[in-house]
Amino acid sequence: MNHKATEPFVRITKRDEIAAWRGWLIRLTSLVLALAVCAVVIYVIVKLNPLKVYGAMWEGAFGSSKRSWVTLRDTMMMLCIGVGLAPAFKMRFWNIGAEGQILVGGIATAAVMIYCGNLMPTWALLLTSFVASCAAGALWGVVPAYFKARFKTNETLFTLMMNYVAIQLTSYCVALWENPYGSNTVGVINQQTKAGWFPPLFEQQYVLNVVLVMVLAVTMYVYLRYSKHGYEIAVVGESERTARYVGISVRRVIIRTMTISGAICGLAGFLAVSGASHTISTSTAGGRGFTAIIVAWLAKFNTFVMILIAALLVFLEKGAMQIASQYNLNDYASQMITGIILFFILGSEFFINYRLVFRGKKEAK
């Protein structure tokens, strides 16, 4: 029998390991290919110079000092959510509820600003809002964790459904706090006094956002990589049976980890309300709870790598908005470019983890 005739033309095999520089080379190559494909699509569909379109994207994100700081602010927001999702996802607990955790953290922050704005100094308001947002997010995270640990419920559906509960709770609070009456919006909270707003540092409005999130990213990196809790999270994520065999309480790890994950996502609500928009609405999370899943997963839960991925995603978002307005394109054309780039970046992970073996070639030992 001719074995070569029955051998498939190409087989997919999993890589044992790959050097870090090769992984980044594959990612960089995929980005270059994505830009090349986007250039063809831009020219064929909308008849524009691709280089001018890419320049407009850069302009949309970094065209002025204000735009640069807004891009940085939004990057920190995305990074904060990704950091919050990292421990849960490393434990293989699929926390799809970051949207809801952000919203309840934002509700808690808005409540402190509204009811205590005239009773406390700014530093006390910020500290109280910080604690309240973390507590609200932790509560929203610990509920599905308890049911998962105790009754083996499906955490994906549970956390997803809690997003809808949080949205309705936000709608109720908006109706309760609407200002002016009948507007169906809360408006800018404490617009005159700015009580509970992040104070500017070094004459820049969003420096405190950057400081808080970067401290959080470094802390989470150390926690996951060097602490006992981080080791337990990794073991539970690999195998719950192995974790039980070595004496780890799986229930306790699940509940503790989701408490931390929910608290950090709730903190993102604090950043959104006190550090950015100074209001609360059902669009406060803005879908970033789902986008941050890409950030956490592509970075393999390395919070330093998350900085780069979060910055890229925010840049694409700002760039798509700019070219849509500058060249009078509809949202579908601009989002198509973003989609192509994300497709190539996500696809690069396949070639980092797997390789193609063609007929007649031996696998490397």
How large a percentage of the chain has pLDDT more than 70?
96
Three-state SS at 358: strand
Average pLDDT, stretch 341-365?
75
pLDDT tens digits for range 283-321 = 999 899 999 999 998 888 999 999 999 999 999 889 888
Do the Cβ atoms of 123 and 248 come closer than 8 Å? no
Is the pLDDT reported for residue 42 higher than 50?
A: yes
Per DSSP, which regions of 120-257 are E strands? Answer: none
Residue 361: the pLDDT is: 60
pLDDT tens digits for range 127-172 = 999 999 999 999 999 999 999 999 999 999 999 999 999 999 999 9
Average pLDDT, stretch 324-335?
77
Tokens of 40: 């063809």
Do the Cβ atoms of 259 and 145 come closer than 8 Å? yes
Of residues 141 and 346, more confidence is placed in: 141
pLDDT tier at 364 (50, 70, 90 boundaries)?
very low
Residue/partner pairs of 31-36 with CB below 8 Å, 24 or more apart:
31/341, 31/344, 31/345, 33/344, 34/340, 34/341, 34/343, 34/344, 34/345, 35/341
Average pLDDT, stretch 257-281?
96
Average pLDDT, stretch 330-335?
73
All structural domains of the chain with their residue ranges: 1-48+327-365, 79-319
Is the pLDDT reported for residue 93 higher than 90?
A: yes
Residue 332: the pLDDT is: 73
What DSSP assignment string belongs to 79-91?
A: HHHHHHHHHHHHT
pLDDT tens digits for range 167-194 = 999 999 999 999 888 778 899 999 999 9
Is the pLDDT reported for residue 124 higher than 90?
A: yes
Helix axes 250-272, 98-116, angle to 10 degrees: 50
Question: Which residues, at least 6 apart from 40, have a Cβ–Cβ distance to it below 8 Å?
Answer: none
pLDDT tier at 5 (50, 70, 90 boundaries)?
low
Q: What is the CA radius of gyration of the chain?
A: 23
Mean of all residue pLDDT scores within the chain: 90
Nearest-angstrom CA–CA distance, 182 and 189: 16
Do the Cβ atoms of 81 and 289 come closer than 8 Å? yes
